[in-house]
Amino acid sequence: MDLIEDLQWRGAINQQTDAEGLRAELAKHPVSIYVGTDPTGDSLHVGHLIPFMMLKRFQEAGNHPVMLIGGGTGSIGDPSGRNSERVLQTMDQVRANQEKLTNQLVKLFGTEDFQVVNNYDWLSQISILDFLRDYGKLFSVNTMLNKEVVASRLETGISFTEFTYQILQSVDFLHLYRHNHVTVQMGGADQWGNITAGVDLIHRIEGADTPVFGLTIPLMLKADGTKFGKSAGGAVWLDPKKTTPYEFYQFWLNQDDRDVVKYLKYFTFLSHQRIDELAEAVKTAPEKREAQRTLAQEVTKFVHGEDAVMSAEKISHALFSGDLRDLTADEIAQGFKDVPSVTIPRGQTNIVEFLVDLTKIEPSRRQAREDVQNGAIYVNGERQQSLDFTVDTDAAFNGDYVIVRKGKKKYTLVNVKG
């Protein structure tokens, strides 16, 4: 099975400009292929993984991936997928975002045989007269208006700035063809118009038989029809400071049975046989969630590394069992990020005073004494039934936290200061 057949089996190809031509090109020699992303934020998110995973597959098959960060195009805004103009960022913000995205990309793709380029480097060198003379004359407004990415905005309105985006993206493809030997552009389904415009520009300038190709990836929808990539808390980021590795792991672990096989095909490098085995497990023993656990392990390992997987599973086990003693302070911060929290000064306090006066976990001393004596109070994972017990803030987790559990599941994260 060749690369294109594998991608088709995984449901990863939507449209191609020349399917047979690309297959023939791949059979002859490795190709250089690029994906672009604009630095509109300071982190990538799981939605970006959709084209990135395909780019990684090309890399694994011996081809040469090029990642374009749109320092130039990102300063004006891509009209796709929205009903309004993008808010323009300052160039300082674009540059700061670009640096952070570059670091994330190198982590995913490595430094060997992988390039990150910035289209600001060449777009900023084109004067307005050169732009209109050398490129504007080669684009028909009628054709541009018929591109879905523009047509979808005609009713609500589109500025000339965003209207020209497809020309700039076409210039990117031409530049990368000439200077980086790139012959393939890949993007999401909403990029089809921009990609085909780039192929057409190269054919106009370099010749109709120039071997350049475009392909898009299907829109990723969940079984309920909503867009993939969101959680209850919003976007799921690749930056561990914005979405902890534990939260990232849980996002994949909690996927619907109806979606998990599709995601295994798309977001992992597991063999067809192993994915078929997991698909069967979803049918015969869905309660074990083996497919979801494998998905969470594989994607977390790809983005954050093997240690992050081990830590996420350690946190999950500790929360399930209630035994928190082996967790590190960092793992406590990850696992209890979303539970109710209070902040107290460092020191030693009788458990009743701790529960009532310091943390307000209990409404009264009477209730606190009753819950302690009944065995409903756990401090740092251990049940405390003595009214004489002293809570020592330095007893665990580097003195940064105290974890209190009331009953079976009601946790409070106590932050220690001073």
What would the two tokens of residue 315 be?
A: 């946190």
What would the two tokens of residue 119 be?
A: 């289209």
**Alpha-carbon gap, residue 242 to 143, rounded angstroms:** 41
Alpha-carbon distance values, 340 to 359, 367, 382, 411 (Å): 11, 19, 19, 7
| Residue 241 assigned as binding residue | no
| Residue 34 assigned as binding residue | yes
310 SS3 class: helix
What would the two tokens of residue 398 be?
A: 């580097």
Contact of 199 with 214, CB cutoff 8 Å:
yes
Contact of 73 with 165, CB cutoff 8 Å:
yes
**């690309």: which residue's tokens?**
22
Candidates 287, 313, 290; CA nearest to 300 is 313
- Strand intervals (E) in 372-409: 377-379, 382-383, 390-392, 401-406
| Residue 373 assigned as binding residue | no
353 SS3 class: helix
Alpha-carbon distance values, 214 to 21, 59, 139, 328 (Å): 11, 17, 18, 47
What would the two tokens of residue 38 be?
A: 């604009």
| Residue 165 assigned as binding residue | yes
**Alpha-carbon gap, residue 298 to 309, rounded angstroms:** 8
DSSP string, 97-151: HHHHHHHHHHHHH-STT-EEEETHHHHTT--HHHIIIIIGGG--HHHHHHSHHHH
The Cβ of residue 313 has, within 10 Å, a number of other Cβ atoms equal to: 17
Q: Which residues are annotated as a binding site?
A: 34, 165, 169, 230
List, as residue ranges, the binding site for ATP.
230
Which residue ranges make up the annotated binding site for L-tyrosine? Answer: 34, 165, 169
